Amino acid sequence: MLLQDMNWMDVERYLEQDNRIILVTGATEQHAYLSLFTDILIPSRLAFAAAERENVIIAPPFPYGVSELFMEFPGTISISQPTFDALLNDAVDSLMLQGFTRFFVLNGHGGNKFPARLNELHMEGLARITWYDWWRSPASKAFQAEYGLQLDHANWGENFHFNRIVESPTEPKPPVNLDLITEGQPVRDVLGDGSYGGDYQIADDLMHLLFERVVDEAAALIAALRE
């Protein structure tokens, strides 16, 4: 259930029998040949598939994240970690005031960190909050190990049919040495097209399998929030 498709009375009725909600966090940033919305589209699709199984509300996604590293790439929009924290904290406060107490944060961007205050709410028992980095999940790691692949920024692991803008190169890219950026070399000189290296794309049936395994795991975690 998408919050955008409901009115306030629908939400009030929902809260009479459930207090779970999914929050989607991501970023608007370069992903080589993939959509600038990659870090929003992937977690949003995962959230929708998991929510259908659990009949849980999904709030509108947070479109911006901490993407300072990629600011030299046109189209990237970055916010600071304190701004990200403030936005997510305020959203949770608003929802808790209305009766939501169980939150599943499906994060699609590595620059975003779990706000300390939300962790405190969870630890104090005032809310149950699960933060889920889909690409770091046990399901994703098991998939990578099974097929001998390494998921990285803008490589095969983020190349789903729904966020593919153009066809990617067919030859793998050598791994990028990110230490060169730390040493002072310009980001675009180091990253080139923006991918961190590896295969740009693998078979869509394998990507569908990865998607389904992550959805299975996310749905189980969302179900556990009701217990």
Task: Give the model confidence (pLDDT) of 75-90 as tens digits.
Answer: 999 999 999 999 999 9
Residues of the domain holding 11: 3-219
Confidence of residue 21 (pLDDT cuts 50, 70, 90): very high
| CATH code of the domain containing 34 | 3.40.50.10310
Q: Among residues 190, 167, 170, 186, which one has the least CA distance to residue 178? A: 190
Confidence of residue 37 (pLDDT cuts 50, 70, 90): very high
pLDDT (0 to 100) of residue 227: 74
Q: Do the domain assignments include residue 226?
A: no
Q: Do the domain assignments include residue 143?
A: yes
Kindly state the tokens that stand for 23. Answer: 């929050």
Q: Do the domain assignments include residue 164?
A: yes
d(CA 11, CA 52): 16
Helix ranges restricted to H, 20-158: 38-54, 81-98, 116-123, 138-147
Amino acid at 223: A
Q: Do the domain assignments include residue 227?
A: no
Q: Do the domain assignments include residue 225?
A: no
- The 102-107 sheet, strands edge to edge: 57-58, 20-25, 102-107, 128-133
Kindly state the tokens that stand for 122. Answer: 């969870």
pLDDT (0 to 100) of residue 119: 87
Query: How many domains, the chain?
Result: 1
> Is the Cβ–Cβ distance between 87 and 4 less than 8 Å?
no
Q: Do the domain assignments include residue 21?
A: yes
Q: Do the domain assignments include residue 201?
A: yes
pLDDT (0 to 100) of residue 188: 96
**pLDDT over 90 (residue 99):** yes
137 CB-near residues (< 8 Å, 6+ apart) = 214, 217, 218
Q: Among residues 154, 157, 101, 151, which one has the least CA distance to residue 124? A: 101
Q: Do the domain assignments include residue 83?
A: yes
